[in-house]
Amino acid sequence: MLTTDRYAAVMPLLSARALRKSYFKARLEIPVLKHVDLDVFPGELISIVGQSGSGKSTLLHLLATLDRPDGGEIRFEGNRIDNLAPAGRDILRNRYFGMVFQFYHLLPELTTLENVLMPVMIGRGVLSYYASRRRYVARAKELLELVGLSHRLKHRPRELSGGEMQRAAIARAIIAEPKLLLADEPTGNLDRGTGEEILELLRNLNARHNLTIIMVTHDNAIAAEADRTVRLFEGRVEVPVAMAVDAA
């Protein structure tokens, strides 16, 4: 393919072509994403911004294979993933993608440590997990240390503050050593200062561990911290004038 040949040197980690997605409300089709093209290159920190209702969360869900697009295709490392069977998506989400949500989404019954270990537990069988559980626990503790939560290992999520919960969620997202971190409004529920800390943490991960991050936000100030910003407007990517000319 033409595109692949042209960027053969730097193949996008994740690329979306002509993505479409609509919702139905009382039999009325409401298009959310009309035509979205996106390339994410390894090591990038991209922010996707747009007003609420512009479809940015929907786009993230499609990229994370949590939902299926109505049209278009998504490729991860050159392979199509939008039409994968459920089992394939489960593996992809477990091993290659990490996810961080606005409302942290920790499991309330488990301790911080157990929450962080969850992707490993899901990915391994009982025996293989049990056999190397010390290694995994050590790794989880290391990550919690990295996000600054080593004093909260045995606490339940409801005993943590918002910032702490988000840190735990980030630790959970990276324990399986994913290639791509998808963050849906990671600072949306936090005050400015805590939000800055979380952002700092994500930038650190991006810079030091070369983790590719796609971050959805409605806050322009936060979006500005990213390497590149993709603006969504009414279901399309807003193309900067210069690039539009270039493409033409």
Partner 1 sequence: MYKYLLCLRYLRTRYIALASIISVMLGVATMIVVNAVMAGFINETQVRIQGFISDLVVESHSLDGFMAPEWHMDQIRRVAGDDVVGMTATVQVPGMLIFSVNGKDGAESITRQVNVVGIDDATYASVSDFGKYLQHPANRERLSFDLRENGYDARDQQVENGEERKELAFAGWEYRRRKEAQAARLRREAHTPLDSVPPETPQAEASRIPDNLLAEESGAAAGSPSAPTLDELVEDGGGHNPFQGRRWQPSEGEASVFDPAKQQHPGLVMGIALPSYRHRDADGKVQTGFLLRPGDDVQLMLPSAGNNPKGVRGYFTVVDFYDSKMFEYDSSVVFVPMSQLQELRGMFDRATGTTYVSAIRIKTRPGVDLVALRDKLRAAKVVSDDPRAADAPLFPPTVFSVSTWRDKQGPLLAAVEMEKATLNLLLFLIIAVAGFGILATFFMIVVEKTRDIGILKSLGATFWGVMGIFLSYGLSLGCVGAGFGLGLGLLFVRYINEIRQFVESRTGREVFDPTIYYFYDIPTIVDPLTVAYVVAGAMGIAVLASVLPALRAAMLRPVDALRA
Please give the residue ranges that form the binding site for partner 1 (CB under 8 A): 61, 64, 66-67, 86-87, 90-95, 99, 101, 105-110, 114, 118-119, 121-126, 129-130, 172
Q: How far is the CB of 1 from partner 1 (least distance, A)?
A: 30
Q: How far is the CB of 206 from partner 1 (least distance, A)?
A: 21
Helix (H) or strand (E) holding 100: strand 97-100
Whether 237 contacts 67, CB under 8 Å: no
Measured CA to CA in angstroms, residue 62 lies from 67, 106, 153, 193, 241 at distances of 5, 21, 33, 30, 27
Nearest to 136, CA basis, from 171, 99, 108, 84: 171
Measured CA to CA in angstroms, residue 171 lies from 168, 199, 212 at distances of 5, 14, 15
How far is C-alpha 220 from the geometric centre of its chain's CA atoms? Answer: 18
22: helix, strand or coil: strand
Q: How far is the CB of 213 from partner 1 (least distance, A)?
A: 16
66/153 with CB nearer partner 1: 66
Distance CA 236, CA 34 (A): 6
Q: How far is the CB of 99 from partner 1 (least distance, A)?
A: 5
69/235 with CB nearer partner 1: 69
Q: How far is the CB of 105 from partner 1 (least distance, A)?
A: 5
Q: How far is the CB of 244 from partner 1 (least distance, A)?
A: 32
76/101 with CB nearer partner 1: 101
118/153 with CB nearer partner 1: 118
118/239 with CB nearer partner 1: 118
Read out DSSP for 57-98? HHHHHHHTTSS--SEEEEEETTEE-TT--HHHHHHHHHHTEE
Distance CA 161, CA 157 (A): 8
Nearest to 215, CA basis, from 204, 231, 226, 207: 226
121/153 with CB nearer partner 1: 121
